[in-house]
Amino acid sequence: MTPSLSRLREQFPALAQPGLIYLDNAATTQKPVAVLDAMNHFYRRHNANVHRGAHRLSDLATRDFEGARDIVANFLNASAREEVIFTRGTTEAMNLLARSLGSHLLQPGDEILIDTWAHHACIVPWQQMAIQTGAKLVPIPLTPAGDLDLDAYESLLSPRTKVVSLTQISNALGKQAPLHQMLPAAKAMGAITIVDGAQAVAHLPVDVQALGCDFYAFSGHKCYGPTGIGVLWGRQQLLQQMPPYQYGGEMIDTVSFEGSRFNRLPYKFEAGTPAIAEAIGLGAALSFIQSLDTNAVANHEQALMNRAKAGLAGLDGVAAIAADGDNLGALSFRVDGEHHQDIGILLDQAGIAVRCGHHCCQPLMQALGLKGSCRVSFALYNTEAEVDAFVAALQEITEFLND
């Protein structure tokens, strides 16, 4: 870790707890002081509802809330701030798309292509919409190495393909999808393209215009922001065509018992009082990320990944899963003859926090022939010493279990 990154670690109060090595960042990242201060300042000084007040506090709250939307738009290189929809996270964004876009778009016999890496939050909403509309959910298979099978993907694309939903980075494997190949192929068939960027935004710069997708979603809590807030970015033309996802306050223009007229973008999709403090916290988190030396962060995180891979390779009876490629952020592993949950508990007793289970991607586990796995995942504040401590603890555990 470079001196500048070492000083950044001091901005994360949770990491100061004695005996804690936090390697569960793909589940949620810790929060820097900048985020904590931004949310605390709102509640202490500017707490009021947004958009509809006739007083100073409401004006200040609205300014900060909409300022966060501007930060998100800049972070994603959106063509307009109206394309940024605040959601509770990637899960709600995917449900919004499936219900609003799916009900508007899908007909019996249509197909929805989705990758085998996909999180349940991406699979289940489209699965349910397929049942309702008579469409078909079609998985994109994997190669033996755990990558998306591009030949199979291209053979699955057809005029029946109406939606293609892709995971930018697998939350279980850290594998990266070749979006630069997959998105144009889908667009050539006239399909709507969706990218789950939940695992990407903390590790990669995101430019939705350069990606060329139609929709992009991510969660604040996976990129140093608070829980309960996320983003759906979409092309204005498509968002304008889609019906609202929820109904109530804020998303309306006028209401009478005879009928209602809906609000303009982005508010058409933001029913009810929004997560104001959380949006402000998200803005602070993205500003924090943008203040960093992205090359230094990327090099540091890659060094952590390489060190972890090398460490696991030196342990008898331990195997990294699909770890022969460009894994980023997350690395799964198994211990021969041991249940993943037992390994996680023993690592926790050594002060090391990892994730164990199916990682909300049971179809992926089934494709890999696994019931689950253990996963370590890294953030910019992790250190090589922490990786070494993890490997050493795992070695002690395996030796103990084999005695």
The 3-class SS string of 257-269 reads: CCEEEECCCCHHH
* pLDDT value of residue 269: 94
One domain, residues 13 and 95: no
Q: Are 236 and 92 within one domain?
A: yes
State the pLDDT at residue 1.
60
Which helix (H) or strand (E) element contains residue 140?
Answer: strand 136-140
Tokens coding 261: 């007229």
Tell the burial category of 337 from Cβ atoms under 10 Å away from its Cβ (0-12, 13-18, 19+): exposed
The β-bridge relationship of strands 192-196 and 136-140 is unpaired
> Which pLDDT does position 260 carry in this prediction?
85
User: Can you tell me the distance from the alpha carbon of 176 to that of 170, in angstroms, rounded to the nearest whole number?
Assistant: 7
For the chain, how many structural domains are there in total?
Answer: 2
Residues 256 and 339 placed together within one structural domain of the fold: no
Rounded to whole angstroms, how far apart are CA atoms 22 and 9? 12
Which residues does 109 contact at the CB level (< 8 Å), separation at least 6? 134, 135, 136, 160
Inside any domain, residue 29: no
CATH code: domain of residue 333: 3.90.1150.10
- All residue ranges of the chain with pLDDT < 50 are none
Share of the chain above pLDDT 90, in %: 90
CA–CA gap between residue 224 and residue 230 (Å, rounded): 12
- pTM for this prediction: 0.96
For residue 285, which of 3, 66, 38 has the smallest C-alpha distance? 38
Nearest to 198 by CA among 164, 174, 234: 174
Q: Are residues 283 and 344 in the same domain?
A: no
Q: Using H for helix, E for strand and C for coil, what is the string for 276-307?
A: HHHHHHHHHHHHHHHCCCHHHHHHHHHHHHHH
* Rounded distance between C-alpha atoms, residue 189 and residue 164, angstroms: 10
pLDDT number for residue 263: 79
| 266 preceded by a cis bond (ω within 30 of 0) | yes
Segments in 31-119 forming alpha helices (H): 33-41, 56-76, 90-96, 102-105
Residues annotated as catalytic (active site), given as ranges: 360
Q: Residue 315: its pLDDT value, please?
A: 96
Closest CA to 193 of 218, 212, 210: 212
Q: In this predicted structure, what is the pLDDT of residue 327?
A: 94
- Whichever domain contains 177, its CATH number is 3.40.640.10
pLDDT digits (tens, 9 = 90+) for 250-280: 888 788 788 888 878 999 999 999 999 999 9
**How far apart (Å, rounded) are the C-alpha atoms in residues 403 and 401?**
6
Are residues 275 and 330 both part of a single domain? no
The verdict on 225 and 281 lying in the same domain is yes
Gap between the Cα atoms of 370 and 394, Å rounded? 20
Q: Which domain holds residue 81?
A: 35-290
Dihedrals φ, ψ of 232, to 5°? Answer: -115, 120
| pLDDT, tens digit, 9 for 90 and up, residues 2-18 | 657 778 899 999 999 99
- Within-domain flag for 30: no
Encoded tokens for 317: 């009876």
Instruction: Decide if 41 is inside a domain.
Output: yes
Q: Which residues contact 75 (CB under 8 A, 6 or more apart)?
A: 201, 206, 286, 289, 290
Strands 111-115 and 136-140: parallel
DSSP annotation of 112 reads E
Instruction: Indicate the residue among 290, 314, 336 that finishes a domain.
Output: 290
